[in-house]
Amino acid sequence: MHAFRPPRRRARPHICRHREYHESLQQTLPGLMEHRARKWFTDAHRADADIAQQVNPQLGSTFYNGRLPPEIVALIFEHMMSPDNVPGPRPQPFRGLDPDFCFRDDHEPYDDEIDPQDLGRQDVSEGVQDAEAQDNSAEQHTLPHAPRPGFEETRQTEYGFDWYRPELIHKQVFPRIRILETCKRIYLEASYLLLRHKEAIIWQGRGPARGETHSKFTNRMRSNYRRPWVQKVHTMRVYAQMYLLEQMIGECEVVRRLHSNPDDYEGGVDQYWHLQSLLSSGQGPTDPVWRTFYHLQEFHLTIRRGDWDRWEDNKRLAINARHQGFADGSVQVMRREMNATLEGEDSQLLPYQTGSLGSLFRIMTSLQKLTISFETSEDKKDEMEAIVRWAETWRFEIMSWRHWMELDNNEVTAHLVRDNTAVQKSSWRGRVYHWSDICPGCNLPYSQPGDLCQQHRKTQSLSEQGNGPQLLVWTLTWRPSPVQPPTSLIQGEGRS
């Protein structure tokens, strides 16, 4: 008897035909699995099935012979999978020095700053004494001071630009994970604990020497991610320049084009329908980009001081989560939509364009927490406060797997909405390379004399001490709110 083989259509079938075919396939799939296992399952799938079915109970082990209560065994595994914090990478000028970022949980100005109004009132003797004191303190700093005509000379990754930050002074190491090599049972019971702590850090521009971009990360995981038992990434932190963040979003949009047509699928028609069966049963895809975002539970995006478009020229801050090219978006367009939202007009119905910031989160099907941190210098506090008030009204869509296979382009599984927590504020002392090239007080380049400008004198004084501006950070959190299917659809399924 010949195995059931659905007819191949040259033309792309209608969405309803896709569903009919999928339903018929689900009915015949159990009987076909035995006959077509060799064709459908790769070596990785067969190995995964062996791991799940052939596990030695290890009754002679101290963990499983009954001498230790299961609660104690769970605590031991939790300890073995927990990380240790060790000093992270340091830029060349700060190696061997204890970092001092003057971190604080508010936006209050620092008390140690010299009042710019007093800088011009010092007499000659005080000026000489201050100059000698600065010369002595300068020997303790190897980071180049701000050379005129600007701060370009200090903006190098070897000096820590722009990855040397308070939250990254330590890195996590897992020295006790060798216990996973003991046996299969311990691996299956304890490996998931590692995912609670392990975090993938993506640098879309201006990262450390060993930092990974999104493309580099997915390429490294490409071979491993085709093995279903390989550990999944549950937590990801992204530091991204605006235009490189757009590039990362474009890489996610490619997933949809690669999986939208069975005739063009790289694995063939059979693999296409097998993938659809896996997704419909709650299992994840094998594509490295899709698989990475599919299993993410926490995602933290940070837009740093140096990530904003033309920040060196003191350009007004601009971001628009709905539009493609949000990094280069017009400030006027942003202000118009911002005012419309804050005045009560219902702009939430406006769709997110393909390639927009909001479209990035559509692929994160398992996301439980979204965090976005906005960072800028103290002189742009009012601009950022307005953007943060607007960002609190943002709602993002999470699309189902049917959207990514173009079976249903509008099937939303959840909306990411702001949780009830207040906006978290923090600040820290930036470095010399965080100064812009244009004085925000007089709009003159720092290469020109600014004796009459208080901000000019303040910047010069702080930079001579090896300090940068105070950097202010606003952190917002979103949580998923599930979308209930239409009542008519539920009733229709019940009748069938």
Q: How far apart are CA 271 and CA 216, in angstroms?
A: 26
Residue 195 Cα distances to 51, 71, 279, 298, 399, angstroms: 19, 20, 22, 11, 24
- The tally of CA atoms less than 13 A away on the side-chain side of residue 169 is 12
Question: With DSSP H G I counted as helix, E B as strand and the rest as coil, what are the percentages for the chain, rounded to 5?
Answer: 45, 15, 45
- The tally of CA atoms less than 13 A away on the side-chain side of residue 403 is 21
Quick check: bond before 162 cis, omega within 30? yes
DSSP 8-state assignment for residue 469: P
pTM: 0.77
Question: Backbone phi, then psi, for 438, in 5-degree steps?
Answer: -115, 130
Instruction: Give the rounded distance of the alpha carbon of 50 from its chain centre.
Output: 34
Collect all residues with Cβ–Cβ distance below 8 Å to 201 and sequence separation of at least 6: 168, 211, 212, 236, 237, 238, 239
Q: How far apart are CA 149 and CA 389, in angstroms?
A: 36
| pLDDT tens per residue, range 288-333 | 788 888 889 999 999 999 999 889 999 999 998 888 765 555 788 8
Q: How far apart are CA 409 and CA 359, in angstroms?
A: 13
Residue 155 Cα distances to 162, 163, 437, 456, angstroms: 8, 11, 12, 20
Tell me what the pLDDT averaged over the chain comes to: 76
SS3 409: coil
255: part of which helix (H) or strand (E)? helix 242-258
| pLDDT tens per residue, range 249-283 | 888 888 777 777 776 666 677 777 878 887 887 77
Show the tokens assigned to 288.
């490295």
SS3 88: coil
| pLDDT tens per residue, range 84-137 | 888 877 777 666 666 778 899 999 998 766 544 444 444 334 443 444 444 443
Q: Which amino acid is at 393?
A: T
